[in-house]
């Protein structure tokens, strides 16, 4: 299962949050971004419930103010045509 997570956070806490969450093995990509959100994560896992648990952890972080999670729909175009073996 793959998901993209967008995070809004307190100003100035971006580097700290990125440093903390990049240590999670299932986080395959994490970057600071400009715009409505502050941080972008790509999560890959075999356990669908892991994404829910990770997002709960993120939302409980004292510097995270909001999250937006997008689960990938396999087989609907783009570069992912079928579920990858993660």
Q: pLDDT tens digit string along 5-17? A: 999 999 999 999 9
Q: Residue 50 burial by CB count (10 A; 0-12/13-18/19+): exposed, middle or buried?
A: middle
pTM for this model (two decimals): 0.84
Report the distance separating Cα 79 and Cα 62, nearest Å: 35
Instruction: Tell me if 43 sits within 8 A of 7, measured CB to CB.
Output: no
pLDDT tens digits, one per residue of 24-50: 999 999 999 999 999 999 999 988 899
Domain 2-71 top-level CATH class: alpha beta
What's residue 79's pLDDT?
55
Whether residue 81 has pLDDT greater than 50: no
């Amino acid at each position: 299962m793959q998901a993209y997570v967008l995070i809004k956070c307190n100003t100035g806490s971006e580097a700290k949050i990125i440093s903390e969450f990049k240590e999670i093995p299932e986080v395959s990509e994490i970057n600071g971004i400009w715009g409505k959100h502050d941080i972008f994560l790509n999560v890959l896992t075999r356990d669908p419930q892991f994404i829910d648990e990770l997002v709960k952890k993120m939302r409980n972080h004292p510097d995270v103010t909001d999250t937006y999670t997008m689960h990938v729909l396999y087989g609907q175009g783009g570069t992912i045509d079928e579920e990858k073996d993660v």
